[in-house]
Amino acid sequence: MSERADEVFLPPGWENVRNGPKRWTDDGRTDDPAARVLHPPTGSGPGDGKSFLFLFGFKTGSGQDRAMLAEELAQIDDDIETLRAAGYTVVVDTQATGDDLREAVAGTGAGVEELVPAGIYWSSHGGADGSLECCDGAMISPDGIDPSTVSAGLRLVVLGACYVGAYAPAWRTALGGHPLIAGWGRPVTIERAVQFLDAERKNDIGLDDLIERWLLTDDPIPAPVVTTGLSPAAVTGGRSGPLKRRIPTIAAQLGAEWEEYDTHYELTVPLPEDRSHLVRIFAVEGAEPFIEGVQLCGMEAEVGPLSMLITPEQLLAGAARPGYGRIALVSADTGVPQVVAQSFTPLAGASSQQLAAHCYHLAVSADTLEHRIFGGDDG
């Protein structure tokens, strides 16, 4: 017992350790090694001498996480058998830690030390900063991996975690610059995550498609997409002043809540089925032929980051119907293009009802696309 009631004993070296699981000994571990199962190949093919690892970082102490894990595990048997038949040794680890990920990308994971790690599927919760949560509650970010340790044979890394897909460029750099990175750019529902693993889904990209395209062939992995030529979000050049008298009427017609900022107004537009979507409204000068200098009412609504999991068909679905708005790509700080819905119309001569119609159509378009891609309501 310490002589001071407020004195707390810390084991040596704990004073400067970052928050996360603690180990009493150097060889202690925060996961159960028995949760790791090895499936040998059943055939021969492009996977000879290679491995694929399914790593699940859901927290072992969370009942909700265990339920999510069970839903995903029920969907991967077909992928496991496809990989095994092609010569791959498949690992399924339901209690994956940051060390497991580091060892996996280096090709030194338990049971597959002599094999090339061609592909990895990691599933867990993700942080808004692009980090991955592990089964013990710790987080691992791109800066937690040494690129020099990553196997040159790593081709495909699927990060099934919220937000992480928006940081695909950072993860690709951390993983040596060569593997293809696919992941969710913003929060998704478990239903959408399970759909990604379901081989029966239609008109979508799933895990089986990525495996067939990049692990059952030796086609070169595409170089990183350069997105520096994209325009910034239109709202960055906007002004709120010219709309000051219009917004209360527009919001009232839509039943929307609103807030004012220097460059724009934000309207939270209510939609059917208890959904809603945020639309930014602003004034901006036209720059295209015949509308140079004309004051426009601009509107923009976010959908989410672009990723390998989003198809052109998803982005263009419904675009042929007459109506207001368009789908566009704009630049984002993470280096991944942001999908938005946009509308521009001359402010002079437009009634408040017409502007409200633009706003509502735009909210519906963005929300429909968001729901189709991510399954949630985060706009």
Q: What is the pLDDT of residue 349?
A: 87
pLDDT > 70 in the chain, percent: 88
Do 33-214 and 234-374 share a fold? no
Look-up of token digits 């919220």: 162
Q: What is the pLDDT of residue 9?
A: 52
From its phi and psi, is residue 137 left (phi > 0), alpha (psi between -120 and 50) or beta? left
Residues 303-322, mean pLDDT to the nearest whole number: 74
More confident residue, 358 or 187: 358
- Regarding the domain delimited by 234-374, which CATH topology (the fold level of the hierarchy) does it fall under? Yope Regulator; Chain: A, (3.30.1460)
Q: What is the pLDDT of residue 16?
A: 47
How crowded is residue 349: how many other Cβ atoms within 10 Å of its Cβ?
Answer: 7
Look-up of token digits 């990553």: 150
Distance CA 341, CA 279 (A): 9
Mean pLDDT of the chain: 87
pLDDT > 90 in the chain, percent: 61
Q: Which of 57-61, 77-81, 112-116 has the lowest mean pLDDT?
A: 57-61
Domain ranges of the chain: 33-214, 234-374
SS3 readout for 270-304: EECCCEEEEEEEEEEECCCCCCCCCEEEEEEEEEE
> Which CATH architecture best describes the domain 33-214?
3-Layer(aba) Sandwich (3.40)
Q: Which of 236-245, 281-290, 321-330 has the lowest mean pLDDT?
A: 321-330
Residue 323 has pLDDT above 60, yes or no: yes
Q: What is the pLDDT of residue 26?
A: 56
Q: Residue 359: is it exposed, middle or buried by C-beta count within 10 angstroms (0-12/13-18/19+)?
A: buried
Residue 321 has pLDDT above 70, yes or no: no
Residue 30 has pLDDT above 90, yes or no: no
Q: What is the pLDDT of residue 317?
A: 67
Summarize pLDDT for 217-254 with one digit per residue, the tens: 999 998 876 666 677 888 888 899 999 999 999 999 99
Q: What is the pLDDT of residue 4?
A: 47
How would residue 299 be classed by pLDDT, with cut points 50, 70 and 90? very high
Residue 161 has pLDDT above 90, yes or no: yes
Q: Tell me the pairing of strands 338-346 and 116-123.
A: unpaired
Q: What is the pLDDT of residue 17?
A: 43
Residues 162-169, mean pLDDT to the nearest whole number: 90
Residues 111-124, mean pLDDT to the nearest whole number: 97
Q: What is the pLDDT of residue 310?
A: 79
How would residue 27 be classed by pLDDT, with cut points 50, 70 and 90? low
Distance CA 247, CA 231 (A): 26
